Structure 1
Amino acid sequence: MTTPTSSDGSSSSGRPPLDHDPWAPPSSSPAGVVPRLPYPVPPAQPRNGMGITALVLGLVGIGLGLFIILFWISWLPALLALVFGSIGLSHARKGLATNKAMAVSGLVMGIVGLLIAAGSGVVTVLTVKHAVDDARAKVREIKKGNEKAAAEEAARHLSFGESYTFGDGLKVTVAKPTPFTPDAIAYGHAKGNKAVQVTITVVNTGKQRVSIKTGLPDVNDADGASAELVIDGSGRQKVLTGYLLPGRTAVGKYAFSLPPAAAGRAEVEFSPDAIRWDDAYWSGSTR
């Protein structure tokens, strides 16, 4: 007589089938139910954003800092790189990020960027200060030059009888003009004008001989008009010319014709070398 078996292989008598493994663990699943395995939990994504941001900002900060004119904005990305790099490094130490090297690089670049920004700021300040100091020095030099030129200009305006020493050592004195009577035949003297004689004394106060290259003066009347040079045959006029030895003196005499209305005052312009030295001026009354 056979014992009927169920569909799952067990005997209806409650006895295990002949092929049953007595050592297998009992099944906890109901008959005909396949057990479900749990789904795998995905690992947490690494938080690498801080390290990447720190690296990018560090590069930007250093790049801007290398341009002197942009140093004033380079400190901001460098400072942010320092902050984000510190946060990224903290995440890496806690195992929340996998780009520790990138965070450290961003942190270091942030520090370097700040140093470059500070150095660029110092260089800019020193450059501007140097430029301002140079500009002020030039202004002072120009002012001194103007003052010196004004003083020299004032020194070249003298009264009759005073002396002026030029740069080559020639000391020049122009005496007060004296009346002059031209010969009957004279060039440059109109009838009714007042003729005056201008006497110029030159002394070489230097240690070398000096050439007198422009020994002819210019005379202006009281109205500022140029007076005519009088030339006659009297032989009383003498033109300064040639070399003058050290310690020697030369005297030049010239006659000029002044109109009656402007004959009361005159100005004499003279330079022993008009190419090298500006004229000196002697003025005063002719009466």
Structure 2
Amino acid sequence: MSTSDFGQPQYSQPQYIYTQAPPEPRNGLGIASISLGIVGLLFCLMPITGFIGFALGSIGSILGLSALGRLKRGKATNTKTTWAGIITSLAAIVFGIIGIVMFFTAIDQLGDDLDEVGNNWNEYSDCVGSASTPEEMNAC
């Protein structure tokens, strides 16, 4: 408190200090990465859905690497989640490729088997057509 030239006391205004709160960490990419990695691994359990597992793993690994960049810049705080997301997404990619290879191998084998059945069918129907007794038909 001080006095003015007129003998009146002057009161000073209190000084308020406004501080800005630190920004919230942006952990969404790491969480999305681990979620897509886990779902991708679930799709890789069936070889026919290996395509979906591969796609989800690819997207998850891209998001995980983006989250790793956020970690290095200090904008995110979920280091373990991000690394787990990258690892599960890469595993989904690997198992997705294995599932795709298994699927196409099975399709190729099915085609070969159907060709063999078709060739054997002609021999079988010729044998049955030329058989005159039930014993000869059973032998075919």
Q: Same fold (TM over 0.5)?
A: yes
Residue in structure 2 matched with residue 52 of structure 1 by the alignment = 31
How many percent of aligned residue pairs carry the same amino acid? 21
Aligned-residue offset at 1:276 = 5.0
Residue in structure 2 matched with residue 118 of structure 1 by the alignment = 97
Q: Does 1:140 align with 2:119?
A: yes
Which is strand-richer, 1 or 2? 1
Q: Does 1:106 align with 2:85?
A: yes
SS in 2 for 1:101: helix
Report the Cα distance in structure 2 between the residues aligned to 1:79 and 1:277, rounded to whole angstroms. 59
From 20, 24, 41, the counterpart of 1:62: 41
Report the Cα distance in structure 2 between the residues aligned to 1:277 and 1:77, rounded to whole angstroms. 57
Matched residue type, 2:42: G
Which is helix-richer, 1 or 2? 2
From 57, 72, 91, the counterpart of 2:51: 72
Report the Cα distance in structure 2 between the residues aligned to 1:275 and 1:56, rounded to whole angstroms. 63
Report the Cα distance in structure 1 between the residues aligned to 2:12 and 2:26, rounded to whole angstroms. 42
Aligned-residue offset at 1:101 = 1.2
Give structure 2 stretches of 5+ with no counterpart.
Answer: 4-8
8 Å CA contact 2:2–2:10 kept in 1: the answer is no
Matched residue type, 1:75: F
Q: TM-score, normalised by structure 1?
A: 0.41
Q: TM-score, normalised by structure 2?
A: 0.80
Give structure 1 stretches of 5+ with no counterpart.
Answer: 1-7, 11-29, 157-273, 279-287
Report the Cα distance in structure 2 between the residues aligned to 1:277 and 1:65, rounded to whole angstroms. 49
C-alpha change, 1:77 and 1:277, in structure 2 (3 Å) is closer
Report the Cα distance in structure 2 between the residues aligned to 1:9 and 1:96, rounded to whole angstroms. 48
The one-character-per-residue Cα deviations of 1:6-60 (angstroms, maximum 9, x if unpaired) are: xx688xxxxxxxxxxxxxxxxxxx9420440311221111111111111111111
Q: In terms of Rg, which structure is larger?
A: 1
Report the Cα distance in structure 1 between the residues aligned to 2:34 and 2:49, rounded to whole angstroms. 20
SS in 1 for 2:26: coil
Matched residue type, 2:60: A
